[in-house]
Structure 1
């Protein structure tokens, strides 16, 4: 967090330098307020760039076996540009190396863990274990120790759903 503040300050200083240079090149015909305006625009541009590149940056930190299965985009009234260009606020991944496959009553079952990353002032990561019935395309969260299915939270997926494809349609 402190590094982003420092980076924003330096982006502002660099943009203020550009404003000062423009003022000097114009023979001081540009008004003096161009320097602080450029500084503010530089800090704002850095912050916008940082927020929109968060998803790509987090993806580079994931292992090669992790697959993104859900992306949430959102808007905020204090970021009016997000109404035109919604930014990624959360996403979910499944690590294909952690899949546990089994059979029960002739149906293919896969146990997996779903990780959810949420962008806040400090990034939040939560995880939940699930059991997917690949034959009926149903998934149920697992809770407790040993893990027991919570059948009241059963979800059904279509064959084109990214989560179903990642979990069930592997080799």
Structure 2
């Protein structure tokens, strides 16, 4: 967070410097407010760049065995450009090294962890163990140290869902 603030300040100073140079090159015909205006535009531009590059920067930090299965994008009224280009605010990942395949009653079951990365003021990472019945296309969270299925939270999943394909159709 502190490095993001420092980078925004330097982006603002750099853009204000460009404004100052432009004002000097024009023989001071450009108005004085061009310098702080360009400084503000530079800081805002850096912030927009940082927010849109957050997803790819986080994905580069993941191990090779990680696979992104869902990206959540959102629009915010205080960022009007996000209505045209929704901002990535969260994504979900499975780690192929943590996937366990089981056989029960002739049905293929897969136990895995689903990691959720959320972009907030402070980034948040949560994880949850799940059990997916690939034959019935149902999945349920596993709770507690003994990983007991929470049958009340049983959900069905479509065959075209990226999570189903990553867990059940992967080699």
Same fold (TM over 0.5): yes
1 CA distance for matches of 2:64 and 2:145?
Answer: 29
Q: In the alignment, which residue of structure 1 is the partner of 2:112? A: 112
**What SS does the aligned partner of 1:43 have?**
helix
- CA distance in structure 2 between the aligned counterparts of 1:136 and 1:16, rounded to whole angstroms: 60
Distance 2:149 2:92 in 1: 20
**Contiguous gaps of at least 5 residues in structure 2:** none
How far 1:86 moved relative to its partner? 0.7
Matched position secondary structure for 1:53: helix
Quote the offset at 1:74 in angstroms: 0.7
Output the CA distance in 2 between the equivalents of 1:78 and 1:119: 16
TM norm structure 2: 0.98
- In the TM superposition, residue 101 of structure 1 has moved relative to its aligned partner by 0.6
> Could you tell me which residue of structure 1 aligns to residue 31 of structure 2?
31
Match for residue 85 of structure 1?
85
- Give 1:124 deviation, angstroms: 0.3
> Where does structure 1 differ by over 4 angstroms across 4 or more consecutive aligned residues?
none
Secondary structure of 2:120's counterpart equals coil
Following superposition, the deviation at residue 97 of structure 1 comes to 1.1
Moved more, 151-160 or 104-113: 151-160
Aligned residues: 171
1:129 corresponding residue in structure 2 = 129
What is residue 141 of structure 1 aligned with on the other side? 141
Report what 1:101 is aligned to: 101
- How big is the alpha-carbon RMSD for the aligned residues of Structure 1 and Structure 2? 0.7
1:56 partnered with 2:59: no
**Cα distance in 1, alignment partners of residues 90 and 77 from structure 2:** 18
**How far off is 1:83 after superposition?**
1.4
Q: Which runs of 5+ in 1 are unaligned?
A: none
Other-structure match for 1:12: 12
Distance between the aligned counterparts of 1:67 and 1:160, measured in 2?
16
